[in-house]
Amino acid sequence: MSTPNSPARSPLIAVILSLAATGLGQIYCGRIVRGLVMFLGSLLFAPAIVVAALLPPATIVLIGLILALLTVLGVYVFAVVDAFRLARRGRDFFHSMDYNHPLVYALFILVGLTYSAGGLYFIRSSVFEAFAIPTASEVPTLLPGDRVLVNKTTYLRRFVRRGDEVVFRVPSEPGLNWAKRVIALPGDTVEVKVNEVIVNGRQLPREPAPRASLGAAAQEVKGELFEEINAGRRYRILFAADTKPLPDYPKAKVPDGMCFVLGDNRNKSRDSRTMGFVALGDVLGDVQHRYWPAATWARFGGLTE
């Protein structure tokens, strides 16, 4: 139902309402269908992120995440500009509808802001969280300056595996998170002797890896490069040049609820050899994507590719 005698639409109010809730500026200007499409579309970002977290890590998944974010931002900007233009056209003539009411606007704003704030909190706490890599302890897998996405849903769906690159809390240093490689799990025996890693009585096989396998990042990596194999998982490790090996780690059994981790840069890493076992409850998730790589954009994408 419309009300013929209604005040003209204010471009300023249309912009403010659109900023508060995507599409609300259009509803204010009488374009209910357009406004609802924009409003409901803006709510699809969080479900899209959850779906991406359930997919295997791959460059195409990361590209999809970035495109989804850019699409939401683009719709948000377009909605503001479109609302401004609609309000300017409706300055002299506008038929108000039943939904053109402050209580309706307040409801849209409440839902929009609550969903946005709650969605962002949920994504960061339970789905994906971004981390910056400050040190060289995970070279060649991660370089200082890399920015990565950690998937926090992985270990809700499966148990931690040997070979996973994980981020975990450090109880002795509150607020600090480290990235390391899982080497052994509860019940395993583990030993490090002269840089040889022995799990359940067997030395982890490794073979020299060609520096060409690092691509454009090869010049950033100095030392002996190897590919290590653990429970069928292959990953590169480094013995940095001009660096003494760390002390041996005596044979020990991994307790229940714990894991043993090493840095991929074996001679330049604080890990379980010095800090002891890591509680599985402190593992936040596995590192899956480099969204802002150091050294070269050729390293952009899924970590396992």
Residue 14 pLDDT class (50, 70, 90 cuts) = very high
Q: What tens digit of pLDDT does each residue of 260-290 get?
A: 999 999 999 999 999 999 999 999 999 999 9
CB 171 within 8 A of CB 254: no
Instruction: Return the pLDDT at 91.
Output: 62
- Strand ranges for 4-160 from DSSP E: 96-97, 128-132, 147-151
Give me the percent of the chain exceeding a pLDDT of 70: 96
* Least confident residue range of 24-33, 119-128, 185-194, 215-224: 215-224
pLDDT at residue 90 in the model = 65
Long-range contacts of 198-201 (CB under 8 A, 24+ apart): 198/251, 199/162, 199/230
pLDDT at 234: 94
39, two tokens? 């409003």
Nearest to 290 by CA among 178, 150, 176, 182: 150
What CA–CA distance (Å, rounded) separates 263 from 282?
17
pLDDT digits (tens, 9 = 90+) for 231-250: 999 999 999 877 888 889 99
pTM for the whole structure? 0.89
* Class of the CATH-defined domain 133-302: mainly beta
Q: Please give the pLDDT value at position 244.
A: 81
Mean pLDDT over each residue of the chain, to the nearest integer: 91
What band does 6 get if pLDDT is binned at 50, 70 and 90?
Answer: low
In this predicted structure, the answer to whether residue 2 has a pLDDT above a threshold of 60 is: no
pLDDT-derived band at 92, boundaries 50, 70, 90 = low
- What is the spatial distance between Cα 202 and Cα 246, in angstroms, rounded to a whole number? 20
Q: Where are the domains of the chain?
A: 2-127, 133-302
Between the CA of residue 198 and those of 139, 172, 248, what are the distances in Å? Answer: 21, 27, 11
Task: Answer yes or no: is pLDDT of 159 > 70.
Answer: yes
Structure confidence at residue 194 (pLDDT): 87
d(CA 10, CA 18): 12
Q: What is the mean pLDDT of residues 50-71?
A: 93
Percent of the chain residues topping a pLDDT of 90: 77
Active site amino acids: 137, 180
Residues 6 or more apart from 71 whose CB is under 8 A from it? Answer: none
Summarize the confidence of residues 100-112 as an average pLDDT. 93
Q: Would the pLDDT of 204 be above 60?
A: yes
CA 287 – CA 303 distance, rounded (Å):
7
- For the segment 95-113, the average pLDDT, to the nearest whole number, is 89
Residue 93: the pLDDT is: 64
Tell me what pLDDT residue 99 has.
Answer: 87
